[in-house]
Amino acid sequence: MKKVIIEYKMLIPAILFILGAFLIFARQTSTPAMMTVASIQLPVAAQAAAASNTMAIHPVAVPAQTAAAAPISRINSGDTAWVLVATAMVMLMTVPGLAFFYCGLVRKKNVLSILMQCFTIMCILSLHWVIIGYSLAFGPDLGGKGLIGGMEWAFLEGVGLEPHNFYATTVPHQVFMIFQCMFAVITPALIIGAFAERIKFSSLCVFVLLWATLVYDPLAHWVWSNGGFLSTAGGMGVLDFAGGTVIEINSGMASLAAALIIGKRKGYPDKISPPHNLPFAVLGAGLLWFGWFGFNAGSAMAANGLAANAFVTTHLAGATAAVAWAIMDCIYNKRPTVLGIITGAVAGLVAITPACGFVNLRGAIGIGLGAGVLCYPVVAFLKPRFNYDDSLDVFGVHGIGGIWGVIATGLYATTSVNDAAANGLFYGNPAQFWIQCKAAVITIVFSFVVSFILLKVVDAVMGLRVTDHEERIGLDLSEHRETAYTILE
Amino acid sequence: MKYIIAVIQPDRLDDVLQKLEEKEIHLVTVSSVMGRGRQKGIPAVYRSHKEAGSLLKKTKLEIAVNDEYVNATIEAIVQGAQTGEIGDGKIFVMDMNECIRIRTQETGNPAIG
């Protein structure tokens, strides 16, 4: 009997492989996706022409002569090189950046659970992104209301190696897609800080897939897609350069919902041991900061002056907020703390995210200062007062920092930086300030409510939380049957 | 034969080891431990949450000695570890039944030194 079970289990990988191969083959026979691979082997001139036609949104059979007459590729090698590098930098933000930032802040017994959650989210959401996520977020609008993308680009059908006409017009469409993929990956990964040390791994996986589909993808569509109802392309006109609404407010509000639903850790607040490895947290924060240059300056989708502006404002806001936090630590705790200065830096980087391509250096310093001054009291005073256990302060840093950043974009934005955008309140345009406020409120409500419902559903169906006994042992051992550190040799 | 356990402030370890060395007591086992006495520690602050700090980092020394070395050992530990502040630690002296050197299987007094 036992032998039969083992053989059956050994068949599973083979079955999955056959299923996967079948799935890919089935898609490819019905689309011209194979041709993109074939075109690489053509001579350069013919390749550019052939590829541009192959990648047209509605693939049609084009005679070879017509193809040769097609315009030269619009791909700019500098832009493409930069966005590819930026994409890799944003990937680095999730693992190991965020993973180490978070794992340093938890107890020894939960280190691996954090690393595992970040790593797993990166893998499953990347698959989710190419299968349906990208199409839901950036695909041709479904119904013309700017609420959600259709399924035309599911499995990246039609998402090829030539630039899209609207998104990132000088880099291959697939580069834009994979850059956005890293954003879709890091956002749910941020949320794990709220329910760290007590979440059931299987429930987490189900939750992030649902959340990506029903919260992240729609919101990304609203703000960034062609025709999204909050977007500058035919929508309300919110200025969000790199994701203050879609990523920061969104993850922050979902985290607040998660912290409220899953409840406090056993022993919170006084019987929880301190962060087990602050050097890890510093390493992670440094990698996050590094990756943020890709995140923000990469969002310019070009290697140009706007990218430079985003790069510099990002750096300045992070530095300003870090110093602001350290000073407040000196005032309230008599000492500047390491955890304080890195938390401040992250808060500043969060706040500059929506603004980095619209504000000048003065704006960046103002936003950084605001981030430190606003996030600090939430983390230090409000959280203990309301007694919720947002374990790693995702709401306090990303939620509050994001809200401030989105609103502050409406204060500091100036067309002298980005003439395609709008002025903010300080440059004589109060209308933009109201748009930013409205967009922030819409994001807050949408993200909190839908995340709350999703978490309730997952909790009811499969339970969000591990048992008390498992929590006591630690998730490393109870959820993954591993431990991070050995004590004896 | 006595077994001496001393719990001291971690930052006094080097001084204690030096004093022991001076009195030709070379054999000692040291471990890092957590403990608490009457002393209040320096509470750590993490994102403005002050740790209660009820358990403090201490260093534990374990020394097996022949009877004639007991006073010298205690003296060395006191000299090295004493600051006069609360939290300097404690020394416990216990009778020891037997001692066996694994390499030679010697027992008793010769096995210690």
Cβ <8 Å between A274 and B51: yes
Return phi, psi of residue A276, to 5°.
Answer: -80, -20
d(CA A56, CA A49): 11
Q: Is B29 helix (H, G, I), strand (E, B) or coil?
A: strand
Q: Do B52 and B43 touch, CB atoms closer than 8 A?
A: yes
Q: Looking at the domain covering A79-480, what would its CATH class be?
A: mainly alpha
Please tell me the distance from the alpha carbon of residue B64 to that of residue B23, in angstroms, as a whole number: 14
Nearest to B46 among A339, A376, A384 (CB): A339
Contact A153, A124 (CB under 8 A): no
Q: Catalogue all structural domains in chain B, each as residue range(s) with its CATH number.
A: 2-40+50-112 (3.30.70.120)
What pLDDT is stored for residue A24 in this prediction? 66
Which residue do the tokens 């949104």 mark?
A: A57
Location of structure tokens 């930026």:
A86
B104 in reach of chain A (CB within 8 A): no
The Cα A388–Cα A256 span in angstroms is 9
Q: Give the pLDDT band (50/70/90) at residue A15.
A: confident
Whether pLDDT at A43 is above 70: no
Q: How would residue A230 be classed by pLDDT, with cut points 50, 70 and 90? A: very high
Instruction: Report how far residue B36's alpha carbon sits from residue B6's, in angstroms, rounded to the nearest whole number.
Output: 14
Whether the CB-CB separation of A390 and A396 falls below 8 Å is answered with yes
Angle between helices A111-128 and A201-211 (to 10 degrees): 30
CA–CA separation, A52 vs A46, rounded Å? 10
Which of A187, A167, A192, A189 minimizes the C-alpha distance to A177? A167
Mean pLDDT for chain B overall? 90
pLDDT at A466 over 90: yes
Nearest CA in chain B to A341: B47
Which of A2-6, A359-363, A413-417, B106-110 bottoms out in mean pLDDT, i.e. has the lowest? A2-6
Instruction: Determine contact: A353 vs chain B, CB below 8 A.
Output: no
Q: What is the pTM of this model?
A: 0.86
Q: Which residues of A touch B51 (CB under 8 A)?
A: 274
The pLDDT tens digits for A44-73 are 444 444 444 444 344 344 444 444 455 567
If residue A86 lies in a helix (H) or strand (E), which one and from where to where? helix A77-92
Predicted confidence (pLDDT) at residue A238 exceeds the cutoff of 70: yes
pLDDT at res. A4: 55
In terms of CA atoms, which chain B residue is nearest residue A275? B46
Closest A-chain CA to B49: A380
Between A21 and A303, the more confident residue is A303
How far A313 CA lies from chain B's nearest CA (Å)? 26
pLDDT tens per residue, range A335-364? 999 999 999 999 999 999 999 999 999 999
What mean pLDDT do residues A242-265 have?
97
ipTM exceeds 0.90:
no
Per-residue model confidence (pLDDT) at position B27:
92
| Helix extents (H) in A263-360 | 278-297, 305-333, 338-352
Report the pLDDT value the prediction gives residue A36, as an integer from 0 to 100. Answer: 44
When pLDDT is averaged across residues A92-111 and rounded to a whole number, the result is 96
Classified as helix, coil or strand, A219 is helix
Q: Which residues of B touch A269 (CB under 8 A)?
A: 49
Q: Cβ–Cβ contacts within 10 Å for residue A362, how many?
A: 13
- Alpha-carbon torsion angle A272, A276, A278, A284, nearest 10: -100
Q: Domain locations in chain A?
A: 2-68, 79-480
State whether residue A274 sits within 8 Å of chain B by CB: yes
Quick one: closest CA in A to B54, which residue? A271
Q: What is the pLDDT of residue A17?
A: 82
* B29 phi/psi in degrees, rounded to 5: -110, 130
State the CB neighbour count (10 A cutoff) for residue A457.
13
pLDDT surpassing 80 at residue B54:
no
What is the helix (H) or strand (E) element at residue B92, kind and residue range? Answer: strand B89-95
Confidence band of B52 (pLDDT split at 50, 70, 90): low
Tell me, rounded to whole angstroms, the distance of Cα A166 from its chain centroid: 21
- Give the integer Cα–Cα distance in Å for A101 and A27: 40
- What residues contact A369, with CB distance under 8 A and at least 6 apart? A320, A321, A324
Contact present, A97 and A119 (Cβ < 8 Å)? no
Question: Residue A271: what pLDDT?
Answer: 82
A57: number of CA atoms within 13 Å, CB side? Answer: 8
Report whether A218 contacts A145 (CB < 8 A). no
